[in-house]
Chains A and B, each alone.
Chain A
Amino acid sequence: MFSKYATKSPWLYRINTGSCNGCDVELATTALIPRFDVERLGCKYTGSPKHADIVLVTGPVTVRSENYLIRMLNEIPDPRVIVAIGICPISGGIYRDSYSIRGPLDKHVEVDVNVSGCPVRPQSILDGVAQAIGIWKDKIKQFHEA
């Protein structure tokens, strides 16, 4: 019963695993710039991984960020949805086959939504978040049945 209303309040958490910052700028503008207002879906950026519902991961998972990524993902409470933002976490993108890359992201965690683009367009981020909310709803149901 609660899952219906709970999905109206997804809190977003951003993890940067060594991206070129292009996608992070797009993420910041998605929420802040008047034209693309992700707060309309009830989202809000939160500073703590423990408050996160939808996790937006950017960057190709570099060697240095690998450990931190795993530790961070362990701290995020269930039910949660992982969204890969940009071509970097999906396949490595322009950094593919580099010696310093431990990607792609789905080696480390099950990814629910892929949002491609380099950098991603704000519209597709919004679309990705909207899809993630749909997946999150099912996950809440499963979490409470289990």
Chain B
Amino acid sequence: MITLSASSVFAYLLFPGGLFAVLFGLLLLSMGRIAVARFQGRVGPPIYQNIFDIIKLRVKEVLIPEDVTNKLMFCIAPVFGFVGMMTAIFILPVSGVYGGTGASSDLIVLIYLLALPAVSHILGGSASGSTYAAISVSREVILMFAYEISFIIVLFTVALAAGGGDGAQFSLKGIVDYQITHGSFISDIKMIPAFLAFVIFMLATLEVPPFHIAENDGDVMKGYLMEYSGMPLALFEITHALKLLVLITVLQVFFMPGIAGASIIVNLLWFIGKSAAVVACIAFIHASMPSFRVDQAFKFLMIVPILLSLMSLGMILFF
């Protein structure tokens, strides 16, 4: 049960949610940009680049096009994703640093929260009345149908595995505690296919190549962000940074929540190090892959990650 106390407000607004999460997420985004640049043999932007991007967007004029189909929806759409991600980072435990809310079934809540950024893209894009946004929204919806299925199967696989034979464990904290006593799932051969499926899900939600389809500069320009400028655009950027951080934290909660020592500082540094390593891997994939067409991506997402996650589920259930 979550009660309103000083410590939970602190966790929501400052650490590990809120301010810390926004800054850390933005830093992770710039780290990704630097890593992509290095893989291409360039120097890349400075490490604080994405924070400056947000400051820049603050000084720009905000344009609202005359032909938006729904002005109210156009203005409030960015808020859904932002609030969803703020809440997600609040309920996620960081092993050895922060225990999460400790609610008994927050894993289920996570399914809904992780869908919110896509929902805000869809609402904002379709309200903006731009043709590019319409195309990109239809692509995003198609992809969302495909990747959410594999995510839900992975989620139940992890819950069953963390139940340790008797039922499923739907508490995020329970999953972390189980892995700290029994060893991380990443070292369990039965969970490797689920891990791969989750990585594919991550790439698809973050829209990095090979799933850079809904906002591909080459054919739909900026997609659903086409008509946004100034502060609403900054809110979308912050949401993107938080989404990256949330997905990396979920990856660590599900598969590698190992702790490095007893002290909070050491564990926090360990968490930051693991996150940076994951970002570097994502950047490597980003720099070396071309993009799918939307139909190819749909076929791929319907077959590969779903089969991988079902394989893990089967092994957990029957062996």
A40 touches B43 (CB 8 A): yes
A21 to B49 alpha-carbon distance, docked (Å)? 30
B52 touches A39 (CB 8 A): no
Report, as a range, how many residues of chain B touch the other chain.
Answer: 20 to 34
Q: Whose C-beta in chain B lies nearest to the C-beta of A141?
A: B59
Map CB proximity to B onto A46-69 as digits: 1 under 8 Å, 0 otherwise. Answer: 111011010000000000000000
Known: A37-B44, A39-B45, A40-B43. A46 touches B222 (CB 8 A): yes
B230 touches A140 (CB 8 A): no
- Give chain A residues whose Cβ lies under 8 Å from the Cβ of B61: 77-79, 143
In the complex, which residues 106-123 of chain A have their Cβ closer than 8 Å to any Cβ of chain B? none
A143 to B52 alpha-carbon distance, docked (Å)? 19
In the complex, which residues 60-100 of chain A have their Cβ closer than 8 Å to any Cβ of chain B? 75, 77-79
Instruction: Please tell me if A20 contacts chain B, counting CB pairs below 8 Å.
Output: no
Q: Whose C-beta in chain A lies nearest to the C-beta of B217?
A: A47
Partner of B56, one of A32, A39, A53, A144: A53
Partner of A42, one of B42, B52, B58, B230: B52
- Give chain B residues whose Cβ lies under 8 Å from the Cβ of A37: 37, 42-44
B40 touches A34 (CB 8 A): yes
Instruction: Please tell me if B63 contacts chain A, counting CB pairs below 8 Å.
Output: yes
Task: Give the 6 A-B residue pairs with the shortest CB-CB distance, closest first.
Answer: A47-B221, A34-B41, A77-B61, A48-B222, A9-B56, A47-B222
Binding site for B on A (CB under 8 A): 2-3, 5-11, 32, 34, 37, 39-40, 42, 44-48, 50-51, 53, 75, 77-79, 140, 143-144
